[in-house]
Amino acid sequence: MIKVAIIARIGAHKSFASRGAHEKKVLEKPTPFGNSVPLHFMEFDEIPFVVLSRHGEDRYSKSAPFVNDRANIWAIKELGIDRILSWSAPGSLNPEIAPGDLILVDDLLDETRSAPGTFFEGKGIGVIRQNPVFCPEIRRIISNTLEKETFTFHKKGVYVSVEGPRLETPVEIRKYRLFGGDLIGMNLAPEAFLAKELELCYGALCYAVNYAEGMMERPYVPGVLFEGLSLPEEFARVEKVEAAFPDLFLSFLPGVVQAERSCLCGEAMKRYKLRGDIGEDFKTWIL
């Protein structure tokens, strides 16, 4: 039985395959919200898992505003999976978080505008508390595993999720810093909120790829990634941690799979079940 899905970078299945994970099959799953991205069914040390690449299989073919999060989360739920590990590469809003640092985010500020943020459009359900935002059991497992690593690791961080695909203006970055943001990216919302609506455990490990606009004095450089926001030495540090990410996520799998589901993520909709508004079949909540 598959318990874990990893939502990750472009062509992430190739990264896991290069570490010895075996791909069993791949499919796009039809859902009421359209097709999911390709689902790669993989196995490593006899642990089965599924890998999804948000933005594309071989290149960055779909920017953040156009990722079909509802289809992807629905497909994961329909497979009987109950735990999601998210891999994201945001910018840093915090001078203490440098490019190449690892961050186990614990809170989320949603600044998206047009991405569908709920499965329950037109329904009288879905008023769900958002503390904790991320599954505490997954956070505990990741944190304990990373204690053994040599990377600079921050156990907490506030992720500001923006819509994109453009990057932010200097004054927007100042605003998000005033709000308490530590990181800024385009992946975790509405993804994390949709996972909670379907009672899935969801945890996110990030690595910072650059300092956000205005954090450092950086001249505009056409034709390079982020147009000069990152220095060559910062890119080198990011590439090192990026190369290690498949190994890190594979190291999380045993703990995540073996852990009893002691968190309350699976009871997010319990109030509506007790009221008789919904039953156990998640499809009937929405269709």
What are the boundaries of each domain within the chain?
4-286
Give the other-Cβ count within 10 Å of 99's Cβ: 22
H or E segment to which residue 110 belongs:
strand 107-110
Cα–Cα distance for residue pair 132/283, rounded to 1 Å: 25
| Mean pLDDT for back-to-back runs of 10 residues, the chain (287 residues) | 95 96 97 97 98 92 93 98 97 97 98 94 96 98 94 97 95 98 98 98 97 94 90 94 96 96 97 97 96
d(CA 211, CA 274) in angstroms, rounded, equals: 47
pLDDT at 96: 97
Could you tell me if 163 and 115 are in contact, meaning their C-beta atoms sit under 8 angstroms apart?
yes
The first and second tokens of residue 189, run together, are 């919302």
Model pLDDT, residue 58: 86
Contacts of 124 (CB under 8 A, 6+ apart): 277
Say what the pLDDT of residue 50 is: 98
CATH 3.40.50.1580 fits 4-286, yes or no: yes
- Tally of CA atoms within 13 A in the half-sphere of 179 that contains its CB: 20
Residue 107 CB-density burial (10 A; 0-12 exposed, 13-18 middle, 19+ buried): middle
**pLDDT given for residue 60 in this prediction:** 87
State pTM to two decimals.
Answer: 0.97
